[in-house]
């Protein structure tokens, strides 16, 4: 069982589940409450979306390991599972099961909400994950962008599902309200953060795996440009993340809100300063692995701002937090 859990990257799947849940419970629902509009997404539909996303993501991790056996035997021989602990035939069968079930659930949801785009995204994501593992990840920057985009779609799909159900409930009337733009303004912020942090992490992982990638004639950024120049790309992307997060912070207006700025400094800026330190001193594969792992921590911290947003929204508009207790209004 442990080998199968490692194969599907169960820790990453838990993060995916957490990300979609906080988008649904701590972002979308609080955004809707000031409009006196309840969430139109049935709980069963939301959890079907989560299940579909997790199954398709698991399939992506499985097929990635399937195609990466030779590279992994060079980069991390002690962690190779496919062909050793689990046969290649069983690996491919598990990929097919996860992907087909996840895709069927996603298409079923698209039919439920009558949204062709929603269904197309599931098909596109499945195809991208296959071709990423088979070919694109070995090409300059293409694979990194694909992983970044598919990660950004994890929160975006939650917002798209909600807006689709709202359209199904209220019809064209919804188009004359700021409800949908309000949802996407927040969801897209988290999606952009997820995209940029994932893109940075993918470049760092390519630096970590440069030995095996070069042996297999891959054309990743560290191989084409070298480790030193790739580090400068990472520094630039980190600056973009900090600037983009700062821009969002400047647009958030809650009465007596000091939490957002403190969270931005302590949860985003300070961790990225430490990440800078890790990258600057990174000379070996283990140091780069530590830096890539720390980015996952930054990702989770960024996602957790949704709890702060929920708190501020509940305090500003006077509704109970998680339907349990009221937040005192700030003094004027």
The string of pLDDT tens digits covering residues 35-51 is: 989 999 999 999 999 99
Per residue, the 3-state secondary structure of 2-65, as one string, reads HHHHHHCCHHHHHHHHHHHHHHHHHHHHHHHHHHCCCCCCCHHHHHHHHHHHHHHHHHHHHHHH
Counting as low any pLDDT under 70, the low residues of the chain are: 254-256, 325-332
> pLDDT digits over 255-264, tens only?
567 899 999 9
Q: Give the Cα separation of 61 and 9 in Å (integer).
A: 7
Q: Give the Cα separation of 262 and 86 in Å (integer).
A: 47
pLDDT for the residue 47: 98
In the chain, what is the straight-line distance between the N-terminal and C-terminal CA atoms, in Å? 57
Domain ranges of the chain: 2-317
Find the length of the chain. Answer: 332
pLDDT for the residue 256: 65
pLDDT for the residue 332: 46
pTM greater than the 0.85 cutoff:
yes
Q: Following DSSP, what letter does each residue of 235-281 receive, concatenated?
A: HHHHHHHHHHHHHHHHH---TT--HHHHHIIIIIIHHHHHHHHHHHH
Please say whether the structural domain 2-317 has been given the CATH code 1.10.1760. no
Tokens 């838990």 belong to residue: 14
């Amino acid at each position: 069982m442990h080998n199968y859990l490692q194969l599907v990257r169960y820790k990453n799947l838990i993060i995916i589940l957490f990300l979609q849940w906080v988008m649904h419970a701590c972002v979308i629902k609080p955004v809707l409450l000031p409009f006196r509009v309840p969430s139109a997404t049935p709980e069963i539909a939301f959890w079907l979306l989560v299940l579909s996303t997790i199954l398709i993501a698991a399939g992506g991790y499985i097929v990635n390991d399937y195609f990466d056996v030779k590279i992994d035997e060079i980069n991390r021989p002690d962690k190779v599972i496919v062909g050793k602990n689990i046969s290649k035939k069983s690996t491919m069968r598990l990929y097919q099961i996860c992907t087909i079930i996840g895709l069927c659930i996603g298409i079923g949801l698209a039919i439920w909400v009558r949204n062709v785009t929603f269904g197309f995204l599931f098909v596109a994501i499945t195809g991208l994950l296959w071709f990423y593992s088979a070919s694109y990840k070995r090409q300059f920057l293409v694979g990194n962008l694909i992983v970044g985009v598919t990660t950004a779609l994890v929160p975006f799909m939650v917002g798209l599902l909600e807006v689709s159900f709202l359209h199904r409930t209220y019809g064209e009337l919804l188009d004359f309200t700021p409800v949908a733009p309000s949802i996407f303004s927040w969801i897209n912020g988290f999606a952009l953060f997820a995209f940029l942090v994932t893109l940075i992490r993918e470049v760092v992982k390519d630096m970590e795996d440069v030995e095996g990638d070069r042996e297999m004639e891959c054309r990743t950024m560290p191989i084409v440009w070298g480790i030193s120049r790739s580090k400068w790309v990472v520094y630039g992307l980190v600056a973009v993340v900090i600037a983009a997060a700062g821009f969002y912070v400047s647009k958030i207006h809650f009465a007596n809100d000091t939490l957002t700025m403190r969270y931005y400094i302590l949860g985003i800026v300070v961790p990225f300063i430490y990440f800078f330190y890790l990258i600057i001193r990174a000379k070996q594969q283990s140091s780069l692995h530590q830096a890539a792992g720390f980015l996952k921590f930054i990702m989770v911290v960024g996602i957790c701002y949704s709890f702060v947003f929920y708190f501020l929204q509940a305090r500003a508009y006077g509704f109970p937090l998680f339907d349990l207790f009221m937040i005192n209004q700030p003094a004027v």
